Amino acid sequence: MKALAIILIVLVVVAAVVGPQTLFVVDETNTAVVTRFGEPLRSITSPGLYVKTPFVERTVYFDKRLLVFDAPADSLLTKDKKQLVIDVYARARITDPQTFLERVSTEARAANRVIPLVSGGLRSEIANDDQSDIIKLNREEIMVRVTEAVKPELDEFGITLVDVRIKRADFPTAIADSVYQRMIAERRRIANRERAQGAEVDLEVRATVNRTAIEIRSDAVKDADIIRGCAEAKSIAIFAAALEQDPEFFSFQRSLEAYRSYLVENTTVVGSAVDLGQMFADIRRGVDIAAAVPEGGISSTTVSAEGPVPLCDEVEVRRAAQELLSKELGVDAVALPMMSIEVSEWPDTSLGCPVAGRDYPELTVVGYTLFLTNQGTTYEVHSSNDGTQTVRCP
């Protein structure tokens, strides 16, 4: 029994000493290289439990995950002979651990070999592009070309290059201020151009509005003068009709009005009674002459289908037609200028635009046909001669 215990103790001691030297584990994040007397013997890329010769063979582990090789920012010369400070990094993975051990041994030494290669490839590619293209357009293409150029060289170290990325591309500090000033000047030029264009549009709009206002004001003054003239003509016709009925009474009334105008309060008349009577006689004679009816009397214009459009009627019917259309179309009346007007005659009171299902008395009506326009569309409106009845014809 004592001998058996001693044997067991010896076996335990041997296992404790020899076991770690014989068995080793490779997890899923690592790869391993088994070396014998410092010489690579075999590589292991799959996770699991493995055996090696104790005291003779040794295991070297490498990270299986992506490695980042960060190159320092460097000032590079572009195709158009301008400087750019570019900060770049590369991502790679150890795919052949045995070759990696033989060529570079450690990740630190690998970084010393990979970073110069990436920087050199980047420098060569940057020299083929203009500064503005690198900043604005061609970064992705440059990174792809650098990756393709450097990848075969890293394969020799047992490293597979995944990609190359540019973290930033800036102007050198020495020229940054001048670049910013050029950018500011360019933006100021664009702003001034847009302001000038805005001022030009403003002037055009103001000129159009002023012209439209003047046209509207002129049309309004013209219509007012026509309406005032027509009203005065009607007034004269009324006075003439009154004069024809009783000329003596009309003369007497106008004389009294003249006396009231001339002989105002505190008026002093110097002269004899004969002179005063002569003055009244002269005033009376002047009123008679002014109120005299021309030979043939005063006749009013009668609208006929063949005759011209009286100016007074034209104003009235045009304003009535514009008011009708402005309500139907929802636009201002000034936006409905009249293109033409003509005298028309219709056999009934529908004015040539009957409504289905409605009866109209058969009565000859003389009126006007007007054509008005708005935004390129022409509208036809029929109106009675005094504008009291207007209809829009489809």
CATH assignment of the domain containing 151: 3.30.479.30
Q: Are strands 159-170 and 83-94 parallel, antiparallel or unpaired?
A: antiparallel
Would 320 be classed as within a structural domain? yes
Whether 315 and 372 map to the same domain: the answer is yes
Closest alpha carbon to 234 in 312, 297, 343: 312
Whether 315 and 288 map to the same domain: the answer is no
Would 233 be classed as within a structural domain? no
Would 150 be classed as within a structural domain? yes
Q: What is the pLDDT of residue 196?
A: 93
Whether 93 and 17 map to the same domain: the answer is no
For residue 207, how far is the Cα from the chain centroid? 23
Whether 89 and 130 map to the same domain: the answer is yes
- CA distance readout (Å), 329 to 74, 234, 326, 384: 71, 35, 5, 21
CB atoms within 10 A of CB 116: 11
Between CA 318 and CA 26 the distance in angstroms is 102
Helix boundaries (H) for 127-265: 131-136, 139-155, 173-245, 247-262
Q: Are strands 39-44 and 390-393 parallel, antiparallel or unpaired?
A: unpaired
Angle, helix 107-126 to helix 139-155, in steps of 10 degrees:
140
Would 197 be classed as within a structural domain? no
Would 198 be classed as within a structural domain? no
Whether 56 and 71 map to the same domain: the answer is no
Backbone angles phi, psi at 348, to 5 degrees: -145, 180
Decide if 32 contacts 24 (C-beta within 8 A). yes
* Domain end among 19, 34, 63: 63
Between CA 120 and CA 114 the distance in angstroms is 10
SS3 at position 228: helix
Would 93 be classed as within a structural domain? yes
Q: What is the pLDDT of residue 206?
A: 92
Report field, pTM of the whole predicted structure over 0.85: no
Q: Which residues contact 298 (CB under 8 A, 6 or more apart)?
A: 236, 237, 240
Would 338 be classed as within a structural domain? yes
Q: What is the pLDDT of residue 276?
A: 52
Would 184 be classed as within a structural domain? no
* Low-confidence residues in the chain, pLDDT < 50: 12-19, 273, 293-302
Whether 98 and 144 map to the same domain: the answer is yes
Decide if 243 contacts 253 (C-beta within 8 A). no
Q: Classify burial at 309, counting beta carbons within 10 Å of its beta carbon; exposed 0-12, middle 13-18, buried 19 or more.
A: middle
Q: What is the pLDDT of residue 287?
A: 53
Decide if 320 contacts 387 (C-beta within 8 A). yes
Q: What is the pLDDT of residue 297?
A: 43
Decide if 76 contacts 83 (C-beta within 8 A). yes
Angle, helix 311-329 to helix 173-245, in steps of 10 degrees:
130
Q: What is the DSSP string of 15-57?
A: HHHHHHHHEEEE-TTEEEEEEETTEEEEEE-S-EEEE--TTTE
Q: Which domain holds residue 287?
A: 246-300
Whether 55 and 73 map to the same domain: the answer is no
Whether 343 and 254 map to the same domain: the answer is no
DSSP assignment letter at 104: T
Structurally, how many domains does the chain consist of?
4
Q: What is the pLDDT of residue 227?
A: 83
Q: Which residues contact 148 (CB under 8 A, 6 or more apart)?
A: none
Whether 321 and 387 map to the same domain: the answer is yes
Whether 159 and 71 map to the same domain: the answer is yes
Between CA 67 and CA 88 the distance in angstroms is 14
Between CA 70 and CA 117 the distance in angstroms is 12
Q: Which two tokens stand for residue 203?
A: 């002037």
Decide if 43 contacts 97 (C-beta within 8 A). yes
Whether 151 and 77 map to the same domain: the answer is yes
Whether 37 and 73 map to the same domain: the answer is no
